[in-house]
Structure 1
């Protein structure tokens, strides 16, 4: 085929015809190439989505819808969209390094980033469990700057110290945050005596560290409690129903972990996902059975066991699945709640009757918690 330069020596008519033909072929080639590229991408997406032969197509779609629903709700309630920004990438790299190069070594055991004894408490309430051994301890991981969430909980399900005849205490676990006012936090703790703060950075990717520090506090500061619950700050918690559940005769007193159980959940490998976990952090394609992190309940013998076994488990950034991994490493099984329908995620609208039957619901705001609780506590029958 002659080059365009050769055509310049021909007549104008032949030149125009050749140029038109060339442009037409070039347009067809680009269209064909783009269609082929889109087809290849579609094939890759379908292959990744359905490559796990252990899960049926229906199960795959179900698990995807679970994550998709949670992600959509985070947008609905005004939470910022999650992206793996350079800061997040740096934090993930730090976790990677902690896997390969443990911070400390002692007696052949590797102490990695999620091991809570790498951190120290900078604010504490060591006497809170000594005066009156609680039946149940509620510990809420919350950002230091999220004062509104703490105040809402103090006015609602975290208010009462005696529930169904049992002593219940509510505490808040905080890390460090550059935007937090240290003096105001001290004043808040002096007023309420319910803040615990450790010197890890309080970020989403450090939730596993935060959870393990909670376990360390329960094991060392509150070993006399019968049960504990890690419960998120955006939850409606029907504390009466929770205590009634734990009072049932058949509820185990040891090695007990319950909540909304999650089975055969595939690990998310997409870097754009909030739940992205690289293979080098967690190589298996699926997580062990775990309880959804919005709120899970456990007998208080488990925290010390979690802390000890965490020495031999590589850290990864999905905190509830990490606790499931601790249970698996300990050779323990999770227990479904007596009534699994009491542990729920999102609700489409508030219903006073329904809220009287459940234990957990994820809410959109602290304002909703106060509003719903005020209505729920009004005199008169709920249904």
Structure 2
């Protein structure tokens, strides 16, 4: 990766300190050799770690194992349950959960599970959600539960950040972490891991929602919509629909997809990834069909591709205006009627939520 691991730098410093206190040439040469050999070996190990998505790092992180009894190290590459040779990289069972002790779907059966994909280091966003719409656990008589889905940290002080994630989970027990590298280009993997977790851990819930961490969510309106007449209980996917949008071929765009990866000029209709809702029966179907669909890094378009491959249609929400994009000016009356809005910061989420929930009619 071009950087030494913390262990490499500590070892190098220790060897250099010993070296400066030795006077004999033979010892000086010996320690020089040990230094070069150690740095070389650790650098090679570091590259291997990232090749296997930090599995060796996690297995050797004894402090993480001691502070989190639920920690489970990823399977080694040679393990018979590894499926790299059988399936492409977006197939979620190529990856394995290393934090997953949430009580969601285990001691109860929620009506709706909200899953928030979020970067490991974005504690601020998680705390804002825990103070706002994540507190909505019983709405119109229905149990609602929220969890956060993380991959492995890919930058900064990885060991320290992973320990912070582990300690946070010990406090809240609402983090689910898998052993893929958490990055923008891996959002499709992240989404498919969400589908796999829901399919295996929450098969009896009615609905689930994938919702980004920068979103305002009006849970009352969401549940009201789901309980309205005519809402399907099976094969249901809804949200803000993008109808056959063009594929971006501009190499400077972060949404660029090359012709060789996806040759069609348009995507099938899909729901915008900021927040979409689906019946739980779709999750296992998405996991299975992902074996046969070439992955792209546009995760919401990929879900649309899965729907097309399954021969299924998306459903327009009863009131499409409830799934909003960016708001222009905060208005309490407007926010009392919508389901989602994209926000600019976690501070906005707390401020707007507090104002919406204050006593008195919003309009």
Q: TM-score, normalised by structure 2?
A: 0.75
* 1:166 pairs with one of 142, 146, 150: 142
Partner residue in 1 for 2:277: 297
Query: Over alpha carbons, which structure has the higher Rg?
Result: 1
Q: 2:125 aligns with which of 146, 149, 153?
A: 149
Indicate which of 312, 318, 328 corresponds to 2:298: 318
Contact 1:125 1:193 in 2 (8 A): yes
**Does the Cα contact within 8 Å between 1:175 and 1:210 map onto a contact in 2?**
yes
Equivalent-residue separation in structure 2 for 1:305 and 1:202 (angstroms): 24
Tell me how far 1:160 sits from its aligned partner: 2.1
Q: 2:348 aligns to what SS in structure 1?
A: helix
Structure 1 stretch 121-130 or stretch 152-161: which is displaced more? 121-130
1:127 is displaced (CA, Å) by: 3.8
The alpha carbon displacement at 1:126 in A equals: 5.5
Matched, 1:186 2:131: no
Tell me the residue number matched to 1:175: 151
Partner residue of 1:104 out of 81, 85, 99: 85
CA distance, structure 2, for counterparts of residue 192 and residue 137 of structure 1: 16
Indicate yes or no: 2:308 matched with 1:328.
yes
1:115 to 91, 99, 106: 91
CA distance in 2, matches of 1:379, 1:154: 21
> Which residue in the other structure is 1:349 paired with?
329
Query: Match of 1:263?
Result: 243
On the 8 A contact 1:309/1:326 being kept in 2, the answer is yes
Q: CA shift at 1:176, angstroms?
A: 0.6
Contact 1:134 1:169 in 2 (8 A): yes
SS in 2 for 1:104: coil
1:376 matched to 2:356: yes
In 2, the alpha carbon distance for the partners of 1:182 and 1:365 equals: 24
- Separation (CA, whole Å) in 1 of partners of 2:233 and 2:244: 27
* C-alpha distance in structure 1 between counterparts of 2:204 and 2:85, whole Å: 30
State how far apart, in whole Å, the 1-side matches of 2:321 and 2:150 are.
30
**Residue aligning to 1:54:** none
Who is 2:24 aligned against? none
The match for 1:232 among 193, 208, 212 is 212
Residue 266 of structure 1 aligns to a residue whose secondary structure is coil
1:3-26: CA deviations, max 9, x gaps?
A: xxxxxxxxxxxxxxxxxxxxxxxx
Please state if 1:209 is matched with 2:185. Answer: no
Cα distance in 1 for partners of 2:111, 2:164 equals 31
Q: CA deviation at 1:349?
A: 1.0
Counterpart of 1:77 in structure 2 is none
- Secondary structure of 2:337's counterpart equals coil
C-alpha separation in 1, matches of 2:171 and 2:204? 25
Gaps of 5+ in 1: 1-90, 92-101, 106-110
Distance 1:353 1:268, change over 3 A: same
For residues 357 and 102 of structure 2, what CA distance do their matches in structure 1 show? Answer: 32
1:224: Cα distance to partner?
1.1
Deviation per residue, 1:33-77 (Å, 9 max, x gap) = xxxxxxxxxxxxxxxxxxxxxxxxxxxxxxxxxxxxxxxxxxxxx
CA contact (8 A) 2:238 2:277 kept: yes
1:283 and 1:173 map into 2 onto residues whose CA distance is 31
Give a deviation string over 1:148-199, Cα, whole Å, max 9, x none. Answer: 0000000000112111210000000000113351221111111111100001
Find the residue that maps to 1:270 and give its secondary structure: coil
Alignment gaps of 5+ in structure 2: 1-50, 52-82
Contact between 2:117 and 2:149, CA under 8 Å: does it hold in 1? yes
Map 1:264-283; keep pairs closer than 5 Å. 264-283=244-263
Greater CA deviation, 190-199 or 126-135? 126-135
Q: Is the 8 A contact 1:126 1:221 kept in 2?
A: no
Q: Is the 8 A contact 1:139 1:214 kept in 2?
A: yes
The Cα RMSD (Å) is 1.3
SS of equivalent to 2:135:
coil
What SS does the corresponding residue of 1:198 show, helix, strand or coil? Answer: strand
Residue 103 of structure 1, CA deviation: 2.9
